[in-house]
C-alpha cells in the first residue's frame, strides 16, 4: 500500500510541529494547516487520505471540519483530537462521519494504532468494493453498482415493490440510471419472462408519440403504408417503461390514462379496441406537480402513474458510489478494448471525487471509457481523464460568482449548454428538444443559427 497522505489541522503551532515530526519519522506524507479553512483549501488541491484535526479552533471547530471534508470527498478519513473530550462531542463527531477521535495529550501509541487500522482498511477497499449487497442479490439487482445509503434506500424500495402490480414513477436527473432501476424491477417481478419494452418520449416528435405508444392502421397518416403495432401491444404480459413521461402532450395523455386504467386502446386511425395486460413503469426528470398547476399535465394521469414513487439522487449527492462505479466501468471497458487495466491512480480518483458530475452516472461512464481507451499503463492517471479544462469551464458557467468571463460571454455559454443538453436528451430531435426547453421549434432553430450550432 502507498504511504498515507495526512493533513494536520491545529491552531497550536507547537502541537502541529510535534505531530508533523512524529509522522514524518514514520515516512508518512504530511501537510499542515493552522485553521479549518486553510486545511480545507489544502484538501481541495491535494490528494489526502487522512485528516487529523483539533476540535477547539477559532474559525471552524473539529465537527465543522469533519462535515466540510466529508462533503468534499467522503473517502477521506477524519480523526478529531480534543483536550475537552466528552461523550456529547464524541457522539456528534462520529455521527458526522469521523473515523475516530483522540483525547489530548495525544497517546502516540494510540495514534499509531489508528493509523495502522486506516492503512489496513484502505488496503482492503478494492476487495470490499466488489462485494454484493444481500438485498440486491435477493432481488437480482446485480447490474446496479452502489454502496451509498442513498442508493441502498432506492434499491430497498424497488425490491419491495418489484413483485407487485403497482405502477411506479421513477424520478431523477438525466443520467442517474432510471432505466437501469426499471429493468431491475422488471427482472425481479413475475413478468421477467415476458417483454420489457422501452419508449423514450423525448426522442419522438409530438406527431409520432401516439403512434409509437398505440400503433397505427394503414393510411392513418401520410407515410403510414402498413399497419404497425405500438409499444403497448409489444409489451403485452410484460412491462412498458415510458421514459420522460412528462413530455407526452395533453392530447395523448387521455388515451394513455385509459390504457393504464382499463388496459384498452385503439390504434391510431382504427376503431377496434385492443386489450393488453401491461405493467407501467414511468420516468421523468421534470416537476410534474408544477406542470399540473400550469395545466400541462393531467392530475388524474399523475395519480395513476404515481402509485409508488422512487427518487434517484444525483451522483454528486452519493459520492460513495463513485469509486465502485469507476471500478465497474474500468472492468467493462477494459474487456471491450482488450486492455489490462488494474485501476486508477489516487490523484485521478481524487479529481473525480471532487467533481460535481452534472451529467451523473452517464457522464462518469463516458469519462472512464475515454480514459480506458487512452490509458497506456495498468493504472489510469489524471492525464488520461478527458476535458478537465472543459469540465472546469462548464462548472464556471453555472457558477453565478464566477464573473471573469463577463455577462455577455457567460450568458452565451449558458444558453449553448442548455440547448446542447436538450438536444442530447432528445437524441438530436429539434421538435422534442424545443418541448424540453418549453419554447417553439421555430425559436429553437433561430437560436441554433444565431449561436452557430446549426451545422454542429
- Domain-embedded: residue 101: yes
Q: In this structure, are 289 and 335 located in the same domain?
A: no
Q: For residue 332, count CB atoms less than 10 angstroms from its CB and return exposed for 0-12, middle for 13-18, buried for 19 or more.
A: middle
β 273-275/264-266 pair status: antiparallel
Residue 382 φ then ψ, to 5°? -65, -25
What does each C-alpha distance from 310 to 71, 150, 169, 224 come to in angstroms?
Answer: 24, 11, 6, 38
Single residue among 386, 417, 440 that ends a domain in this structure? 386
Q: In this structure, are 273 and 407 located in the same domain?
A: no
Q: In this structure, are 73 and 14 located in the same domain?
A: yes
- Domain-embedded: residue 414: yes
- Domain-embedded: residue 405: yes
What's 382's domain CATH number?
A: 1.10.8.60
Q: Tell the residue number behind the cell numbers 480545507, with chain if given.
A: 40
Q: In this structure, are 208 and 95 located in the same domain?
A: no
Q: Model's pTM, two decimal places?
A: 0.65
What's 151's domain CATH number?
A: 3.40.50.300
Residue 284's nearest CA partner among 431, 435, 141 is 435
- Domain-embedded: residue 134: no
Q: In this structure, are 301 and 240 located in the same domain?
A: yes
- Domain-embedded: residue 455: no
Q: In this structure, are 109 and 229 located in the same domain?
A: no
pLDDT of residue 454: 63
Q: In this structure, are 158 and 288 located in the same domain?
A: yes
Q: In this structure, are 220 and 287 located in the same domain?
A: yes
- Domain-embedded: residue 376: yes
What's 117's domain CATH number?
A: 3.40.50.2300
Q: In this structure, are 334 and 275 located in the same domain?
A: no
- Domain-embedded: residue 278: yes
pLDDT of residue 285: 93
Q: In this structure, are 100 and 220 located in the same domain?
A: no
> How would you write the pLDDT of the chain (456 residues) with one tens digit per residue?
457 899 999 999 998 999 999 999 998 999 999 999 999 999 998 889 999 999 989 889 999 999 999 998 988 999 999 876 666 777 788 888 999 888 888 889 999 999 988 888 776 654 444 333 433 343 455 557 777 888 888 988 988 899 899 999 999 998 898 998 998 999 888 998 899 999 999 988 888 899 999 998 888 787 777 888 899 999 999 999 999 999 999 999 999 999 999 999 999 888 899 999 999 999 999 999 999 999 999 999 999 999 999 999 999 889 899 999 999 999 999 999 999 999 999 888 888 888 888 889 998 999 999 999 999 999 998 888 876 534 554 555 665 655 656 787 778 878 888 898 888 888 888 999 999 999 999 999 999 888 877 654
Residue 233 φ then ψ, to 5°? -65, -40
Peptide bond into 36 cis (omega under 30): no
pLDDT of residue 389: 34
CA distance 242 to 9: 51
Single residue among 85, 109, 129 that ends a domain in this structure? 129
Structural domain count, the chain: 4
CA distance 146 to 439: 37
Single residue among 108, 129, 150 that ends a domain in this structure? 129
pLDDT of residue 395: 57
Residue numbers of the domain that contains 114: 5-129
β 100-103/168-171 pair status: unpaired
pLDDT of residue 351: 83
- Domain-embedded: residue 456: no
What's 434's domain CATH number?
A: 1.10.10
Q: In this structure, are 364 and 417 located in the same domain?
A: no
Q: In this structure, are 157 and 66 located in the same domain?
A: no
CA distance 379 to 126: 14
What does each C-alpha distance from 443 to 207, 225, 417, 435 come to in angstroms?
Answer: 19, 32, 16, 11
Amino acid at each position: 500500500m502507498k504511504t498515507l497522505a495526512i493533513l494536520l489541522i491545529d491552531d497550536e503551532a507547537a502541537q502541529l510541529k510535534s505531530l508533523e515530526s512524529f509522522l514524518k519519522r514514520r515516512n508518512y506524507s504530511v501537510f499542515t494547516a493552522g485553521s479549518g479553512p486553510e486545511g480545507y483549501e489544502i484538501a481541495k488541491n491535494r490528494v489526502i487520505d487522512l485528516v487529523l484535526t483539533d476540535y477547539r479552533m477559532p474559525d471552524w471547530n473539529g465537527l465543522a471540519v469533519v462535515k466540510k471534508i466529508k462533503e468534499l470527498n467522503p473517502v477521506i478519513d477524519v480523526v478529531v483530537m480534543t483536550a475537552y473530550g466528552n461523550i456529547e462531542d464524541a457522539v456528534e463527531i462520529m455521527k458526522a462521519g469521523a473515523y475516530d477521535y483522540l483525547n489530548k495529550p495525544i497517546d502516540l501509541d494510540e495514534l499509531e494504532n489508528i493509523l495502522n487500522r486506516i492503512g489496513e482498511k484502505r488496503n482492503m477497499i478494492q476487495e470490499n468494493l466488489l462485494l454484493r449487497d444481500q438485498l440486491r442479490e435477493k432481488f437480482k439487482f446485480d447490474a446496479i453498482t452502489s454502496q451509498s445509503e442513498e442508493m441502498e434506500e432506492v434499491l430497498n424500495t424497488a425490491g419491495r415493490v418489484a413483485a407487485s402490480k403497482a405502477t411506479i414513477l421513477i424520478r431523477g436527473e438525466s443520467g442517474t440510471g432510471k432505466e437501469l432501476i426499471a429493468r431491475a424491477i422488471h427482472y425481479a417481478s413475475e413478468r421477467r419472462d415476458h417483454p420489457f419494452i422501452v419508449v423514450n418520449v423525448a426522442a419522438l416528435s409530438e406527431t409520432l408519440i401516439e403512434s409509437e405508444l398505440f400503433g397505427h392502421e394503414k393510411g392513418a397518416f401520410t407515410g403510414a403504408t402498413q399497419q404497425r403495432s405500438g409499444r403497448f401491444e409489444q409489451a403485452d404480459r410484460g412491462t412498458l417503461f415510458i421514459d420522460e413521461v412528462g413530455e407526452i402532450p395533453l392530447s395523448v395523455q387521455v388515451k394513455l390514462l385509459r390504457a393504464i386504467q382499463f388496459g384498452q386502446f385503439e390504434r391510431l386511425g382504427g376503431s377496434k379496441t385492443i386489450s393488453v395486460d401491461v405493467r407501467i413503469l414511468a420516468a421523468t426528470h421534470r416537476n410534474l406537480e408544477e406542470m399540473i398547476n400550469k395545466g400541462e399535465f393531467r392530475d388524474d394521469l399523475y395519480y395513476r402513474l404515481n402509485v409508488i414513487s422512487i427518487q434517484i439522487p444525483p451522483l454528486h449527492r452519493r459520492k460513495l458510489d463513485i469509486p465502485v462505479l469507476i471500478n465497474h466501468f474500468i472492468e467493462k471497458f477494459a474487456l471491450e478494448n482488450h486492455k489490462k487495466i488494474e485501476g486508477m491512480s489516487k490523484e485521478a480518483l481524487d479529481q473525480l471525487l471532487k467533481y460535481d458530475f452534472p451529467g451523473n452516472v452517464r457522464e462518469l461512464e463516458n469519462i472512464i471509457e475515454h480514459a480506458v481507451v487512452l490509458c497506456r499503463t495498468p493504472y489510469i492517471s489524471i492525464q488520461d481523464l478527458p476535458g478537465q479544462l472543459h469540465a472546469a469551464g462548464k462548472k464556471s458557467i453555472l457558477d453565478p460568482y464566477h464573473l471573469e468571463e463577463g455577462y455577455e460571454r457567460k450568458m452565451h455559454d449558458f444558453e449553448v449548454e442548455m440547448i446542447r443538453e436538450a438536444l442530447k436528451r432528445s437524441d438530436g430531435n429539434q421538435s422534442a428538444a424545443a418541448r424540453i426547453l418549453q419554447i417553439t421549434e421555430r425559436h429553437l432553430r433561430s437560436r441554433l443559427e444565431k449561436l452557430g450550432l446549426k451545422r454542429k
